Amino acid sequence: MNITFPDGAIKEYPKNITPIEIAESISHGLAKQIVVAKVNDELVDLNFEIVEDAKIMFFKFDSEEGRSVYWHSTAHLLAQAVRTLFPDVKVTIGPSIENGFYYDFDKEIPFTDDDLQKIEQKMKELAKLKNIYKREELSKQEAIDKFQKMGENYKLELLADIPNDEIISIYTQGDFTDLCRGPHLTDTAKIKSIKLLKTSGAYWRGDAKNKMLQRIYGVSFPSNKELNKYLYNLEEAKKRDHRKLGKELDLYSISDDIGPGLVLWHPNGATMRSIVEDYWKKRHFAKDYKLVQTPHIGKAELWEKSGHLGFYNESMYSAIEVDGQEYYLKPMNCPFHIAIYQSQRRSYRELPIKYAEMGTVYRYENSGSLHGLMRVRGFTQDDAHIICTPQQLDAEVENVVEFSINTLRAFGFEKFDIYLSTMPEKAVGEKSDWDKATVALKNSLQKLNLDYKVDEGGGAFYGPKIDIKIKDALNRSWQCSTIQFDFNLPTRFGMEYIGEDNAPHRPFMIHRALLGSIERFFGTLIEYHAGNFPVWLCPIQVKVLPISDQYIDYAQKINEILITNNIRSEVDFRNEKIGYKIREAEMMKIPFMFIVGQKEMDANSVSVRRHQEGDLGSFRLADIIEKIQKDVEEKK
C-alpha cells in the first residue's frame, strides 16, 4: 500500500497502518509532536487505520488544524472534570475557538471562580491519567439509546437534527463519553498546560429565546512556557485597551452623570477627531462628494414612512413631544439625505449624486452591549449616500470600495477582515437588482485584489453589503466600513430621476460609511497604535522642556515659533527636574521633546528627544520644524 507525503515522496506501508505508526517510522520526535493527521484531505485520529493508497499530512500544535484538535480535546477534558465534580450538570457543546476552547453546561447555580480553580485542578489530574480518546461508531438509534440512558437531553436534541441513516461517532476518555465528530488527540496526557480563563452565561444554540447555559472558557498548550507566553501577551494587549489609554492620555471620558454610551471628547481627543474629520472632508471633496448637514431630530411621520418606527423602534430613543407633534432623535441619516435629493426634480444628467455628512445619530443600544468608544449610544457616522443610475452602478461601486480601503490605509491600517453579505430569505426588492448589485460588489473586491469572506444570506433585508471589520487589542472584531445597497428606502420615499426618455426612473442608492462611526474608529485607532499615534494625528506634537526657570523665556519663544508653523506644541514650565518632565512627556506619548538649556540658548538650537527612541541630539530649530512638517505631510 502506497502512502504519498506532502513533498511528493511515496513510501510503501502494510495495510491497516495508522498515521502515528507512519510518523514513528520517520522519527520518534515527529510522532511525539504531531496532534492530528490528514488522510486524503480528511482530518483523522492518529490511530485511524489506513486501508488503501492514500495521501498523508501531519499537523503539530503550531498549525491551525493541530491547535483546533488540541483545544477541542481539552474541551472534552473540561466536560469530564465538570461531570466528575458536579454530577448533576448536563453537558451541551464544547468546540475549539480562535484562542482556546469553551464548553457550555446546563447547571442551575452558575460556576464560581472557586469552582473554576477546582475544575482546572481536576482537569490536570485527569490529564495525567493518560486516558485514551477512544472513538466508536454507532447507528443514530444506538446513540439515542445511549445518551437517553445517560440523561443527556441536549445531546438528544443535537442527535434529532442528524439524518437517520448517518453513522454517529462518539468519543470516550476514562468514564466520560461525548457525542462528537472528532478527531481527537490520542490521549489526555498530551495536554500539558491548562488554564481556565473565564465563565459566562451563553444561550443554548445561541438563541436568546432558549435557556441560558453556563459557559467556561479556557486555553491549553503543550508546555507551561507557551501558556505563560500566552498569558503575558494577554496582559500586554490589555495595556492597549482604548478605555485605559483614553483616560491616561486624557482623550475622552464617559460620565454616569451625563448618561451611559455618551462620549465627552476632551481637548486631546477632540483635536485628533478634528484632524481626522478635516482629512476626511478633504478626501471627500476630492472625490466629488457634496457635503450636507442635517438636523438631529425629525417628525414621527418621517420615521413612519422610512420604516424605522416599524423595524427599528426598539433601538430608538423615545419620542419628544413638541406642539402636539412627536419627534424622534435620528438613528440614521438616510431620510434627511433623501429629503435633500427630493427637494428638486432630478435629471439623469445630475447623477451620480453623492451626499456626505458627519451625521450624529442616537441609538438606544442594550445596556449589556455598551463598550467604551466601540459601542455607544450617541455617535457620528461618516455617512454618505450615493444615488445613481443602473448604468453608473458598477463604476460607482468600484470607486467607493477603493475609496474605503484607501481611507483606512491612510490611517495606517493594514489588516482588516472584509465580508460580502448576500441576499437573505426575507428581503425586499427585485431579485435581478440584488444580483446586479451583488455582482458589482464582488467584482470590485476582486478587481482590487482583496481577500474577503462571503456571508451567504447575511445581507440586510434591504440590500447586499460589504463590511470591513477591524480587530481590537483583545482580538474582538468591530465593524467599521460598510457599503450597503438599499432597495427599500428609494421605493418607500418614491425617489425618482427623469431619464433621457423623459420618463421617471427609480435610482439605485448606496449607503456607505468608511470609518463607520468616528467614536468606534477612534477606539480602533487608539488600540492599533497603542496610543503611539503618528505625528500628524498627535494632539500635542512637541513638548518644550526648559532645563530650569532661567530658560522659560527661550522655551516660550521656541513654542511660539512652532505654533506659528502649525505645529501643536506646549511648554512644561513647571519647577521640576528635567528627568521628571521627560518622564511625563514620555508617558503622555508625545512624539517630540525639545529640551532647552544654556547650551541651546547659546547656539540658538534645541536638543531633540524622540518618544520611545531617546536623544536625537542638537538641531537647528528650522531643520527640526521642517522634519516634523515633512512627517505630518507624509502622514507618519
Partner RNA sequence: GCCGACAUGGCUCAACGGUAGAGCACUCGACUUGUAAUCGAGCGGUUGUGGGUUCGAUUCCUACUGUCGGCACCA
Kindly identify the residues of this chain, within the stretch 130-189, that bind RNA according to CB under 7 A: none
DSSP string, 256-267: TTT-TT-EEE-H
Q: 3-state DSSP call for residue 375?
A: strand
By CB under 7 A, tell whether 14 contacts RNA.
no
Near RNA in 220-259, by CB under 7 A: 241, 243, 247, 254, 256
What sign does the CA torsion over 598, 600, 606, 612 have? negative
Tell which positions 433-492 bind RNA, by CB under 7 A.
460-462, 465, 474, 476, 479, 482, 484
What is the spatial distance between Cα 584 and Cα 488, in angstroms, rounded to a whole number?
54
Query: CB of 186: closest distance to RNA in angstroms?
Result: 30
Of the residues 104, 115, 187, 383, only one is catalytic, namely 383
How many other CB atoms are found less than 10 A from the CB of residue 463? 27
Considering only 164, 369, 432, 449, the residue that binds RNA (CB under 7 A) is 369
Q: H or E element: which one contains 337?
A: helix 334-341
Q: Please give the C-alpha separations between residue 337 and each of 136, 299, 310, in angstroms, as whole numbers.
A: 62, 15, 20
Give 147 or 328: the residue with its C-beta nearer to RNA.
Answer: 328
Q: Catalytic residue at 363?
A: yes
Please identify, among the stretches 337-345, 497-505, 604-612, 625-633, the one whose residues bind RNA according to the rule CB under 7 A.
604-612
Of the ranges 146-154, 170-178, 214-222, 624-632, which one interacts with RNA (CB under 7 A)?
214-222
C-alpha cell at 344: 428638486
Helix (H) or strand (E) holding 453: strand 453-455
Task: Please select the residue that binds RNA; options are 198, 345, 630, 636, rule is CB under 7 A.
Answer: 198
184 catalytic per annotation: no
Residue of 14, 29, 163, 206 interacting with RNA (CB under 7 A): 206
Q: Report, in Å, the least distance between residue 558 CB and RNA.
A: 13
Q: Which stretch binds RNA (CB under 7 A): 63-71, 172-180, 203-211, 522-530?
A: 203-211
Helices then strands, each counted (H, E), the chain:
20, 33
Contact status: 199 vs RNA (CB under 7 A): yes
Count the neighbouring beta carbons within 10 Å of the beta carbon of residue 439.
14
Please report, as residue ranges, which positions from 259 to 298 form the binding site for RNA (by CB under 7 A): 260-261
Cβ proximity to RNA: between 239 and 247 the closer is: 247
Active-site residue identified among 242, 465, 609, 611: 465
Of residues 184, 308, 375, 385, which has the active-site annotation? Answer: 385
The DSSP-derived string for 136-159 is EEE-HHHHHHHHHHHT-HHHHHHH
Q: How far apart are CA 32 and CA 29, in angstroms?
A: 5
Sequence-distant (≥ 6) Cβ neighbours of residue 17 within 8 angstroms: 1, 3, 49, 50
Nearer to RNA, 78 or 547 (CB): 547
Residue 587 sits in the site that holds RNA (CB under 7 A) = yes
* Interface positions, 331-350, toward RNA (CB under 7 A): 331-332
383 is catalytic: yes
For the bound state, the minimum distance from the C-beta of residue 227 to RNA, rounded and expressed in Å, comes to: 18
What are the start-end ranges of the E strands in 13-109?
A: 36-39, 42-44, 54-59, 90-91, 96-97, 100-106
CA distance linking residue 161 with residue 400, whole number of Å: 43
Task: State how far the Cα of 155 lies from the Cα of 205, in Å rounded to an integer.
Answer: 12
Among the listed residues 5, 13, 312, 348, the single contact to RNA using CB under 7 A: 312
| Residue 465 known to be catalytic | yes
The verdict on whether 130 is a catalytic residue reads no
Instruction: Note if 511 is an active site residue.
Output: yes
Instruction: Give the residue numbers annotated as catalytic, written as ranges.
Output: 334, 363, 381, 383, 385, 465, 511
